[in-house]
Chain A
């Protein structure tokens, strides 16, 4: 079955840039999306089709996807961005595949 891998945690200072990676075999051949999940809340879509932001998502969130790695970048990170972030791809055999999640801590 298809799998994607994320680092467990990323730390960032306020105002700096946080980069969260998601790796998988030929991941660049698939569309990747990203979800933000704060404690006790349901996930919120922040990036879809690798680079697109849904309405209402701040411009500081951006995405890229090439070869085997997709990246979610948070520019000018704010305290409110502290959350778990999950990448997601689709595999024709497995269905929706989620990464294990990355905890972003704003120090």
Chain B
């Protein structure tokens, strides 16, 4: 059974850079079978995809966040990470990591499973 767990600071100050880590168990990031994604959800609002990474180091990001997003992977720890720079109050949200099922030949893309999420608050 695949499980994901987000970790990182719960409180950030404006202009700081957020660093979150997702630890995966039950699947190997180095297998190359999947991509691995970050998604966020402000309180009471919908889901927003942030970006994803493949074992090769290839990444894709939401164009609206691309300039501030860095995603990396450490296969030795079976972890992948998100850095989001220049945080503002608008970045306050629950941040989720998820396994990203991609089948380019079919054009099929979905996220399963998801981690429980971590609340990140940006406040001075």
Contact = CB atoms under 8 A, between A and B. Distances in A.
Interface string A52-63: 001000000000
- Counting chain B residues whose Cβ lies within 8 A of the other chain, the interface size class is 20 to 34
Nearest to A29: B107
B46 A86 contact: yes
Contacts of A95: 49, 51-52, 60-63
Contacts, number: 67
A45 B112 contact: yes
A31 B96 contact: no
Nearest to A94: B63
- Counting chain A residues whose Cβ lies within 8 A of the other chain, the interface size class is 20 to 34
Contacts of B113: 44-45
A98 B61 contact: no
Contacts of B106: 31, 49
Contact of B47 (A41, A45, A86): A86
A75 interface: no
Interface of A: 1, 30-31, 33, 35, 41-45, 48-49, 54, 86, 88, 90, 93-101
